[in-house]
């Protein structure tokens, strides 16, 4: 029994690490073997032995995103200066598109930090969409193009980044009536406002002459 309790303690210490993402359940069978799971699936023998705080996982994920964002800021700043787009907007799109995961691939085939489709990557000279530098440059060049296309209207440029320019035009220069795009635009705008308020991309804000926010 003492050995079993020691083993249980060691396992709990492991499961208590920041990577743990669920409550832990356990029971000891007739042979003294401890069974543990985070998915008891209605087995009445299991009893909760540890509650994992969900906020710890969320905080760990947020911390990772902050570290990744900081790592890419020199590339973001360079792209902002080159193409005249706010750093805050570039960061907002990256946050919404990939969460700063340079290896991200969407089910539709969009790639990298700014989730460039193969055609868009080719159009803006991106040879390797998984290169952070190339991806950020290509995505920022695309944003600058969309801002010019839609007269600096931030909402329409963001909508076009998600749904394509033609969809915005066919919708009468309004946000297209697609659920994904309808959710995407306010999400990016929320990140954008937060980065402006928090100071992320503040240097790029001085170059935001192309940007205006239209009324809904």
Q: Is 39 exposed, middle or buried (0-12, 13-18, 19+ CB in 10 A)?
A: exposed
CA 59 to CA 82: how far, in whole Å?
34
**Do 93 and 188 form a contact (C-beta atoms < 8 A)?**
yes
Helix or strand (DSSP H, E) at 49: strand 47-50
97: annotated active-site residue: yes
Q: How far is CA 65 from the centre of its chain?
A: 8
Q: Return the structure tokens found at 116.
A: 């460039």
Residue 98: partners with Cβ closer than 8 Å, 6 or more residues away? 104, 112, 113, 114, 115
Q: How far apart are the first and last CA of the chain?
A: 67
The structure tokens 């996982």 sit at 57
Q: Which positions are catalytic?
A: 97
């Amino acid at each position: 029994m003492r050995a079993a309790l020691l083993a249980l303690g060691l396992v709990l210490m492991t499961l208590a690490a920041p990577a743990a993402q669920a409550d832990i359940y356990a029971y000891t069978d007739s042979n003294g073997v401890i069974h543990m799971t985070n998915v008891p699936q209605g087995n009445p023998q299991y009893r909760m032995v540890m509650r994992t705080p969900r906020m710890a996982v969320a905080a760990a994920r947020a911390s990772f995103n902050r570290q990744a964002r900081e790592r890419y800021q020199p590339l973001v700043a360079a792209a902002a200066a080159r193409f005249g787009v706010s750093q805050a907007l570039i960061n907002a799109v990256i946050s919404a598109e990939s969460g700063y995961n340079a290896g991200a691939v969407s089910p539709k085939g969009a790639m990298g930090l700014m989730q460039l489709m193969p055609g868009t990557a080719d159009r803006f000279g991106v040879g390797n969409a998984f290169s952070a530098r190339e991806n950020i440059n290509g995505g920022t060049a695309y944003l600058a193009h969309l801002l010019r296309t839609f007269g600096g209207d931030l909402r329409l440029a963001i909508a076009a980044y998600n749904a394509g320019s033609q969809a915005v035009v066919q919708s009468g220069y309004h946000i297209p009536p697609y659920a994904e795009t309808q959710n995407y635009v306010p999400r990016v705008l929320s990140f954008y406002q937060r980065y402006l308020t928090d100071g992320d991309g503040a240097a790029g804000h001085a170059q935001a002459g192309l940007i205006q926010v239209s009324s809904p």
